[in-house]
Amino acid sequence: MITVTVSKKNNSYTEFVSRGHAGYAEEGQDIICAAVSALIISTVNSLEALTKDHFRLEDKDGYVRILFPEELSDGGKLLMDSLVLGLTEIEKSYSKRYLKVKVREV
C-alpha cells in the first residue's frame, strides 16, 4: 500500500510524504503506482518551473518527501491542492487497500 501524509500548518503546506508501493499489480504493470508517481513528479516539476517556491526533495525507491521551509505562493498552494485532489480521487476509485491519503494539521 502507498501511504501519503500531507502536513499543513495554518492551512499552509509544510511537508508531503509518500511511502510504499500499491501492490495492485506486478512491478511495471501497476497502474496505481504509475498514476501516483506521475502526479508527484508532475507537481515537483511544476513547482520548480512555474513558481519561485523553495522546497527540499528526498526521493528513493518507494519514498518521496517534500519539505516546504517557507509558506508556498498561491501558485504553489494550487499545485499542491491539485496533487492532493488527484491522489484522493485515486484513493476513492481503487479503495484504501492500495492508497491511503492523510491530511493532518500540525
C-alpha closest to that of 32 among 62, 4, 2: 2
Cα dist. 88→7, 33, 48, 81, 100 in Å? Answer: 15, 14, 23, 10, 8
Q: Give the predicted TM-score (pTM) of the model.
A: 0.95
C-alpha closest to that of 106 among 6, 3, 18, 4: 6
Are 5 and 104 in contact, with CB atoms under 8 Å apart? yes
Rounded to the nearest integer, the mean pLDDT of the chain is 96
The tens digit of pLDDT for each residue in 7-51 reads 999 999 999 999 999 999 998 899 999 999 999 999 999 999 999
Q: What is the pLDDT of residue 96?
A: 83
